[in-house]
């Protein structure tokens, strides 16, 4: 927005009443929010009637897009009529939760034993950390508690999961990370490799860095390693070939659990049902959310292997209770909607559709590589990043204070594309229903926004 919101408008009321996540409050007070009022397919519309291609599926989640899915509305309505709320505490259960747990176990990329529900990816990952502590105490290893994630990884915003997240703005002035949470090398070959280092050699070095970190900390103190198959909010970073093969060998050597954070990658995003299948992960625990309900309801899940479950079960049995749970974890309405979402995915063969459209999106985005601002185009399936730079020949980025990423975001919005610019990287994760023609329209608008941004940079003397 470009002017102060009108008094008593929705925008003005919002400024007066809400503290927005991932927002500059001063900018919000000055310019107001964009009020989104409706959606249709891959498009959303603001209160002024302007239409935008939603290039990030909301927040990486609306696989079915923004149209009214009457079946999901009906599933929610029918469940509210039958049982509007219940919980799985104290040996209680309900059929929608049982059905969803069975579906997830049947879909899992490797054999899993149990499912524990919560309402967000942050909660699912936070729960994984808690249960890993409980697990090692059950095994008589009270010192084996440290958790390793990666620089630029993203795992949530609770105190523990924001600590796992390897991004400065998630730590700054929050007094994070917490003790016992460590970070290892970001597997981004383009910026992390030394001159002449092949992707495979860089993957070897990443694994060696992890091995050295575990050795330095003491393998008896390191419990788990968290990894997104593709690093989403850190800039859509795709691991180099052989990376996870080599990382998993290090984890096995030191008896360190692997937690696959599938919150973004799960349910077709990378061209397979799970990112773990795309990149060959064999996780001991797996978290998922977002596309589990296509964003219609807040629901997430943690899946545990039998080897992890058994010590937890036995220890909770000795204590007399597993002292963990969320009021709305496994909410029957959320589970009913998620069950219907998974049924729709199967009936419409949406994962197969995404696997077909994904390569088209990757190819079309790579046509932007010749643009003077574009440094690297990367991605897999229907997730991608287009990174800009001040000097692409030298791989030299703009300084954050120059505000080029923010300018690019404004020009994308003006050209009718809503997405996130992460640093200097445009992130793409459109609804899985997107068509080749809609991909083409999106990329054409992005090209115009890049031209606009280049003109702005020249006017500002930045290039």
User: pLDDT tens across 316-366, in order?
Assistant: 999 999 999 999 999 999 999 999 999 999 999 999 999 999 999 999 999
Distance, CA of 331 to CA of 299 (rounded, Å): 8
Cross-strand pairs, 45: 38, 51
Say whether both 91 and 191 belong to one domain. Answer: yes
Say whether both 302 and 431 belong to one domain. Answer: no
Distance, CA of 434 to CA of 431 (rounded, Å): 6
User: Per-residue pLDDT tens for 384-437?
Assistant: 999 999 999 888 999 999 999 999 999 999 999 999 999 999 999 999 999 999
Distance, CA of 19 to CA of 17 (rounded, Å): 7
Cβ atoms of 243 and 103 within 8 Å: the answer is: no
Say whether both 332 and 353 belong to one domain. Answer: no
Q: Is residue 1 predicted with pLDDT exceeding 50?
A: no
Give the DSSP per-residue string, 35-80.
Answer: -EEEEETTEEEETT--EEEETTHHHHT-TT-SS--HHHHHHHHHHH
Q: Is residue 20 part of a domain?
A: no
Say whether both 274 and 321 belong to one domain. Answer: yes
Mean pLDDT calculated for residue range 172-185: 98
Say whether both 278 and 337 belong to one domain. Answer: yes
**In which order are the strands placed within the sheet that holds 420-422?**
374-380, 383-388, 425-428, 420-422
Minimum mean pLDDT among 42-46, 281-285, 400-404: which range?
A: 400-404
- pLDDT more than 70, % of the chain: 99
Give me the domain span that covers residue 214.
71-347
Q: At what angle do helices 243-253 and 199-217 cross, to 10 degrees?
A: 20
Cross-strand pairs, 387: 376, 425
Q: What is the pLDDT of residue 214?
A: 98
Q: What is the mean pLDDT of the chain?
A: 97
| Domain end position, chosen among 330, 347, 364 | 347
Say whether both 268 and 374 belong to one domain. Answer: no
Q: Is residue 16 part of a domain?
A: no
Q: Is residue 403 part of a domain?
A: yes
Say whether both 48 and 176 belong to one domain. Answer: no
* CATH code at position 188: 3.40.640.10
Q: What is the pLDDT of residue 257?
A: 99
Q: Is residue 238 part of a domain?
A: yes
Q: Is the backbone of residue 239 left (phi > 0), alpha (psi -120 to 50) or beta?
A: beta
Q: Is residue 5 part of a domain?
A: no
Q: Is residue 357 part of a domain?
A: yes
Q: Is residue 130 part of a domain?
A: yes
**Cα-only R_g, the chain:** 22
pLDDT band at 7 (very low <50, low <70, confident <90, very high): confident
Tokens of 130: 């808690």
| Domain end position, chosen among 328, 347, 366 | 347
Mean pLDDT calculated for residue range 250-268: 98
Q: What is the pLDDT of residue 4?
A: 61
Number of folded domains that form the chain: 2
Say whether both 169 and 316 belong to one domain. Answer: yes
| Domain end position, chosen among 325, 347, 369 | 347
Say whether both 76 and 180 belong to one domain. Answer: yes
User: Per-residue pLDDT tens for 212-235?
Assistant: 999 999 999 999 999 999 999 999
Say whether both 299 and 341 belong to one domain. Answer: yes
Q: Please give the model's pTM, rounded to 2 decimal places.
A: 0.96
* CATH code at position 390: 3.90.1150.10
Say whether both 264 and 202 belong to one domain. Answer: yes
User: Per-residue pLDDT tens for 153-171?
Assistant: 999 999 999 999 999 999 9
pLDDT band at 6 (very low <50, low <70, confident <90, very high): confident
According to DSSP H, which parts of 348-435 are helical? 350-366, 404-414
Q: Give 267's contacts (C-beta < 8 A, 6+ positions apart).
A: 63, 273, 274, 288, 290, 291, 292, 345, 351
Say whether both 106 and 188 belong to one domain. Answer: yes
Q: Is residue 14 part of a domain?
A: no
């Amino acid at each position: 927005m470009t002017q102060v919101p009108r008094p008593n408008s929705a925008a003005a009321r919002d400024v007066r009443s809400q503290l927005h996540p991932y927002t500059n409050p001063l900018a919000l007070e000055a310019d107001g929010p964009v009020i989104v009022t409706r959606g249709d397919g891959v498009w959303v519309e603001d209160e002024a009637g302007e239409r935008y291609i939603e290039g990030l599926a909301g927040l990486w989640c609306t696989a079915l897009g923004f149209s009214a899915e009457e079946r999901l509305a009906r599933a929610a309505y029918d469940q509210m009529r039958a049982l509007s709320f219940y919980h799985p505490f104290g040996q209680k259960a309900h059929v929608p939760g049982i059905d969803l747990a069975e579906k997830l176990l049947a879909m899992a990329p490797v054999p899993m034993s149990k499912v524990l529900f919560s309402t967000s990816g942050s909660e699912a990952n936070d729960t994984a950390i808690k249960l890993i502590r409980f697990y090692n105490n059950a095994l008589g290893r009270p010192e084996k508690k440290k958790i390793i994630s990666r620089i630029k990884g993203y795992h949530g915003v609770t105190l523990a999961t924001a600590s796992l997240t390897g991004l400065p703005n998630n730590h700054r002035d929050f007094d994070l990370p917490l003790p016992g949470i460590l970070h290892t090398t970001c597997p981004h070959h383009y910026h992390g490799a030394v001159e002449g280092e092949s992707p495979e050699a860089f993957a070897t070095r990443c694994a060696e860095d992890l091995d050295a970190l575990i050795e330095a900390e003491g393998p008896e103190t390191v419990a788990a390693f968290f990894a997104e198959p593709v690093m989403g909010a850190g800039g859509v970073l795709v691991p180099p070939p052989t990376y996870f093969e080599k990382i998993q060998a290090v984890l096995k050597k030191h008896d360190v659990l692997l937690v696959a954070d599938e919150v973004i990658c799960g349910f077709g995003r990378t061209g397979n049902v799970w990112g773990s299948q795309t990149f060959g992960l064999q996780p001991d625990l797996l978290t998922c959310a977002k596309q589990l309900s296509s964003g219609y309801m807040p629901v997430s899940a943690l899946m545990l292997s039998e080897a992890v479950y058994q010590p937890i079960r036995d220890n909770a049995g000795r204590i007399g209770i597993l002292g963990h749970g969320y009021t709305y974890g496994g909410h029957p309405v959320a589970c009913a909607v998620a069950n219907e979402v998974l049924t729709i995915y199967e009936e419409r063969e949406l994962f197969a559709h995404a696997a077909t459209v994904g390569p088209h999106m990757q190819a079309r985005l790579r046509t932007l590589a010749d643009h003077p601002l574009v440094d690297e185009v990367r991605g897999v399936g229907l997730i991608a990043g287009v990174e800009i730079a001040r000097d692409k020949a030298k791989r030299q980025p703009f300084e954050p204070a120059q505000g080029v990423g923010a300018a690019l975001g404004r020009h994308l919005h003006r050209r009718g594309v809503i997405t996130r610019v992460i640093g200097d990287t445009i992130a793409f994760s459109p609804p899985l229903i997107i068509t080749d023609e809609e991909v083409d329209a999106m990329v054409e608008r992005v090209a115009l926004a890049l031209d606009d941004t280049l003109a702005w940079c020249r006017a500002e003397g930045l290039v």
